[in-house]
Amino acid sequence: MTAPRDPFFPADLSIRASQAPLDVRDVGLVDYEEAWQVQADLAAKRGRDEIGDTVLVLEHPYTYTAGKRTQPSDMPDDGSPVVQVDRGGRITWHGEGQLVVYPIIRLAEPVDVVDYVRRLEEAIIATVRGAGVTAAGRIDGRSGVWVPSTAPASDPAAPSRDRKIAALGIRITRGVTMHGLALNCNNTLEAYGHIIACGIDDADVTTMSLELGRDVPTSELKKPLIEHLDSALAGELAVADHTFASAPDPSKGLRRSDV
């Protein structure tokens, strides 16, 4: 299978500017705004070549975050506070049981944002398929990793429409990445009922636990996700066309409104 579009440079080459091993830091449960500041500090140091490529692995307490294209209609209907953040995309939620990974890396030139996003998705797809969610893939026009409505979940409580199992939101400044990905493992889905997650109201959200019909803690997927991420960034795990559907991009042409 081929990539969704040809990258700017060969797909079997590393997208990282450095070939040194990733510095992976498992930092546990961290307040969102505290982690955001840590990311900013690390990104500034990476930009000055004071540190190497670093990957933060963590979970957040219950938190809504609004990206640059969030609209007033997306916001929580229960008045919950929202952190306005400098990543792309719209509103989402973080909480315990969700595996969050923030790569702070310098990308090789020429910087290819789309290829970087596709490599993150490829790492997630390899991880969730390896764990048993074998139908996981992409929806053309929407970022993240999805499970098609035609794929029956092991748990009958799982949503029946196309359902997002992992979300992405990134920022790249002077070639250095921030933010990253969030994979739903055994977190609650209750919080998503109060927002229009990622601006999408025609699909659902799911977790690894719902799809597999058993408890899937974040600890089970940390190692394979980091291994696949390292491999995808290095060009060893090729980006393939795992697209099973297409849908409108919910953020296209939008700017952040006064939310």
Q: Which of 198, 203, 225, 237 is catalytic?
A: 198
CB 218 within 8 A of CB 185: yes
Residue 198 bears catalytic tag: yes
Burial 58-88 (b: 16+ CB within 10 A, else e): bbbeebbbbbbbbbeebbbeeeeebeebebb
For every residue of 72-104, DSSP letters joined together read: GGGS-TT---EEE-SSSS-EEEE-TTEEEEEEE
What is the CA angle 149-150-153, rounded to 5?
A: 75
Distance CA 225, CA 180 (A): 13
Q: Which two tokens stand for residue 29?
A: 């449960």
CB 211 within 8 A of CB 154: yes
Distance CA 33, CA 41 (A): 12
Positions marked active-site: 198
